[in-house]
Structure 1
Amino acid sequence: MNTFTVAAVTFLICMALLSTSEGRPPLRCQCVGSYLGKPISIDKVDSIKTFAAGPHCKYVEIIAIVKHKNNKSSKTCLNPSHAWVKSLIEEWNKKSNSIKRQQESKNILVAH
């Protein structure tokens, strides 16, 4: 085999391996520390993701995407043991369930 063929096969194998890791949780903790400021308003939250403890990280991690005044957003790690974080997650779940129900009812109306 010539050098080009070996390089091409190596490249294709690497791409195949990389594509199989998409959608999987990261292999390490994502949060080095957690947010220590004032409680965050639900209006400033774009999304919240919770990652269970597992082989990749021994901690439960809660990451919120928070909107800022300059129209940018950032990932913010939240401490799952803080009462305000638990309340924020509860409020977020209610809000997202309400939005899902509204979308489902719109889909039903459109289907008729």
Structure 2
Amino acid sequence: MSWEKKFPGMLTLSLMFIPIVMIAATFILTDYFSVNPTTYPPPFNSIVPLILLVIAIISAVVSYITAKDEEPEWGPQLPFKIVEAIDIAIIVLSIMLIVLLITIYFI
């Protein structure tokens, strides 16, 4: 008799919440995508948020893969599907923010 998980593991959930913190840090570092940010010097306004968003994408992809791997073949799959959907949304949002950062600060 085998036992399958009913809810995603702690690693999957923590990898899901790390990108949210990094996206929030991106908003803070860029002064909410201000054209002339004054809070931090230029490398912290343009380069560091790009690095944070790339790390957020990597973390969300790893979280998606682990949620897909932990998903039971039978039984309740809804919590795993919710985690996978949140990870996909984080990936799309991070890509959109990277494009926004490039258009505001580099072009």
Q: TM-score range by the shorter chain?
A: 0.3 to 0.5
More strand by share: 1
Return the structure number with greater relative CO, CA threshold 8 A, min gap 6.
2
Tell which structure's C-alpha radius of gyration is larger: 1
TM-score norm. by structure 1 comes to 0.38
TM-score norm. by structure 2 comes to 0.39
